[in-house]
Amino acid sequence: MAFKSASDTFNKLTTWNVSTDPCSWYGVLCLQNRVSRLVLEGLDLRGSIRPLTALTQLRVLSLKRNRLSGPVPDLSNLTALKLLFLSYNEFSGEFPLSVAAMFRLYRLDLSYNNFSGQIPAVVNRLTHLLTLRLEENRFSGPISQLKLPSLQDFNVSGNRLAGEIPKSLSGFPKSAFTLNPVLCGPPLAECKSVSSDPTRPGSSGAIASPLTPVVSSSPSSVPEKKPPIKSANPHHAGASKISPIAIIAIIIGDVLVLAVVSILLYCYFGRSRAEKSGDGRKGSRILEGEKIVYSSSPYPATQPGFAAGRMVFFEGARRFELEDLLRASAEMLGKGGFGTAYKAVLDDGNVVAVKRLKDASVGGRREFEQHMEVLGRLRHQNVVSLKAYYFARDEKLLVYDYMPNGNLFWLLHGTLWFS
């Protein structure tokens, strides 16, 4: 209510009333009676977002296309935040350093604002970050310090950045770096020295680029070449030579070390192979699940089956593109007899549950679609309705509404093990 009083000057948030349940307000979603999702886009909100920093259980915060302004306040208390969208506002000041405390963050969008200063290296602490959008601001300085191995969506165009694009970011398209006049390196033009006008006073004929060390042409700055110092000991030169016996001893030692290392590696991998064969496919599934929890998506987009598949939505279901599902941050919820279930958070903050029928035998396309048509028509108060499905040669996906009220395991054991 403090945020509404300060920012909602046109009373767009009419459902925000102290006499009603805050979890029923427009743009608010709660989890266990705590505000976990706040999406207020295009409402002409103004002022600061400081009052919202008290919502310590926020998972999603989207305030796109408003007129919020001023520096971003300290967000270090929002350690549960996974999606932060502040684009198309009037924020100013430097890059918010408190973002580094949000170690669960997947998506960060600060584009189309008035931020300035350098992009700090503390961003590298966000090891799960998949999206970093900083375009159309006034950021300056280099980006060579950025090292975000999980990054999938990146854009710093329309700033004042300088220097060479690091190799770790050179795989992004040219459009991610354009409109930065002093930025160079793949995928932009190669970094080269910039020639100056030799007729200008004080010009030496060429000025080094920001990437080239400047070497003064003044005679006083050139170090004087000194003659080599002769050794006072006449036997010094001969002492530096290695005798044939020492060379043989070194070779034998290297061979022994290599043999020991090879034996250790053989024993280690042999034992691992035996353990895997003893556990069967169960061990590989567990390992796969562990990887998926920290990856960007449980559905590998490079598989050939995706080229032939398509998303099929049932009547009344909210539609989205397959690419949106592939980009979604996913967390494994559990495994059952028909596949693995994931919680997927889309870019717009909506949450769906996806069941991946990776190892299930579902027959051909026609048989699969017939089964899905039957499931899609089911309507019961105790059954979660099927919203969409996807069929390809190597992937079968079922999409449901996400139910945040736990599962059978939680009800039996009383442990909230999902996010």
Annotated binding site for ATP: 355
Which pair of tokens denotes residue 1? 């209510």
**N- to C-terminal Cα distance for the chain?**
27
Check residue 242 and report its DSSP letter: P
Distance CA 37, CA 59 (A): 6
Contacts for 319 with CB less than 8 Å, ≥ 6 apart? 313, 388
Pair type for strands 46-47 and 28-31: unpaired
Amino acid letter, residue 148: L
SS3 4: helix
**Which positions make up the binding site?**
355
Q: How far apart are CA 85 and CA 146, in angstroms?
A: 20
Phi and psi at residue 110, in whole multiples of 5°?
-115, 20
Contact 53, 80 (CB under 8 A): no
What is the phi/psi pair of residue 213, to 5°? -65, 135
Q: Is the CB of residue 51 less than 8 Å from the CB of residue 82?
A: no
113 in Cβ contact with 137 (< 8 Å)? yes
Q: What angle do CA 261, 267, 270 make, to 5 degrees?
A: 135
How far, in Å, CA of 411 to CA of 143, rounded?
A: 48
